[in-house]
Amino acid sequence: MEYEGAGRAMVLALKRYDRLDLAPAMAAWMQRATAPILPNTDIIAPVPLHPSRLFRRKFNQSAELARHLAGASSLNYQPDLLTRVRRTESQQGKDRIERKENLRAAIVATPRHRESLEGSRVLLVDDVLTTGATLSACTEACYAAGAANVNILVLARVEPDRNIPIFAATNVKE
């Protein structure tokens, strides 16, 4: 969905107002949208939060979406597949270049999961896609650890280019 109006209100209800009860329905929407690629997925994983942000927020909204999606799809869920090893500033208000720089070397494959990543087909889940900098950093970390394929799935997209369709899941390997 587009991250505006009711779509934005629903995402913010989950993310900022602890409406975890919305996650199962949102994950069901995501499951229907990404049904064609789920049979070709080995691991479902969320975009990680830094431990300090997780402590403040009390939960990772992307992990909640990924957990419900994996459960409904009977797929392998690895909530800690990736680790945010460096605390980053908020991405809010940053342009594409600043966002990418902010995330440089901030996300890596969790050492104990490196072996399971080798040759795996990963589906990364996030709540909102803005410029793609965060998902790009996560994708790079998966490929660096040997993933065979990485797809991304987001609940909402900020200000999409009207000439480019919004896809529920897309392969980001170049």
Which pLDDT value is given to residue 93?
Answer: 67
Sheet holding 121-129, edge to edge: 76-77, 43-46, 121-129, 149-157, 169-171
Q: Which residue has the tokens 């896609």?
A: 129
Which pLDDT value is given to residue 1?
Answer: 86
pLDDT tens sequence for the chain (174 residues): 888 888 888 888 888 878 889 899 999 999 999 999 999 999 999 999 876 766 677 778 899 999 999 999 889 999 999 998 877 766 666 676 777 776 777 889 999 999 999 999 999 999 988 878 889 899 999 999 999 999 999 999 887 554 444 444 444 454
Which pLDDT value is given to residue 16?
Answer: 82
CA pair distance 78, 141, nearest whole angstrom: 15
Which pLDDT value is given to residue 92?
Answer: 66
Sorted by where each starts, the structural domains of the chain and their CATH numbers stand as 5-171 (3.40.50.2020)
Q: Whole-prediction pTM value?
A: 0.83
